[in-house]
Structure 1
Amino acid sequence: MLKNLAGSAVAGALGGFNAHASNIVSAIFIATGQDPAQNVESSHCITMMEAVNDEKDLHISVTMPSIEVGTIGGGTQLASQSACLDLLGVKGASKELPGANSRLLAKIVAGSVLAGELSLMVAIASGQLVQSHMKYNRSTKDVSKVGS
């Protein structure tokens, strides 16, 4: 709650309260031939986490009202991006149900964002995020000594 809601508000976030949805959205957009400029609207995301079942389980959700994707045209026709869409099972137009492949791709984006949000929050809560940044911070270390 503090990171995603209060932290985002203090940072002046526009369009959402999340840990890093835009990083995931950008990566998938580039990999699947989407227009990277649509990251702005598509990354609007509110991530909520709450303890449930007597605090034995965690309920996590992402709300992303404006994921703008397509599976035909533009960059989706590039070889690598087309192969990525094919791998995801959403390449081209759905013959049976127009728009189905784009809707599925949007769900894939949201699911990936949810996984990334959970992963980052675990890293923050366990202290691993700061430790890894300190270990691999190349601005204060000689790059040749990283990992030693």
Structure 2
Amino acid sequence: MYTVVDLFAGCGGGSMGFWVAGFKPVAAVEIGSMAAAAYEANLGLWPIVRDIRDVSLDDLRAAGVVPGELTLLFGCPPCQSFTVLRRGQDADAEDLRRNELIYEYLRMVRELRPRHIAFENVPGLVGSLGALFPDLL
């Protein structure tokens, strides 16, 4: 059985797509309780409802995730500050703070050691990442 952990899970659209493709969602992380409730309604799995910065490897182990055995780690960190949909609007302080969540995704990659990773390709991300996060490239 292929397994997936969904970070920044929202209502579960990504997990549903992977489920249809034959993956079993084994854990998810979502900061919003209303989105988490929708995730549970859609997939039958209650996410860890917390800011990902406060989620530990032990939290994921408690949810049944075994480091090194996960098939896929999926994540779509918030992209408000670098999406092309901003159309020239400046990012506010909260948007800029969310930029750091990319590093949380990478922390989870290091800690969970999944066989594969999937990361949302937001238009504008690569150019912005090159300017904002040169160490990632």
TM-score range, shorter chain: under 0.3
TM-score when normalising by structure 2: 0.26
Higher relative contact order (CA closer than 8 Å, sequence separation 6+) = 2
Rg bigger for which structure? 1
Structure (1/2) with the larger helix percentage: 1
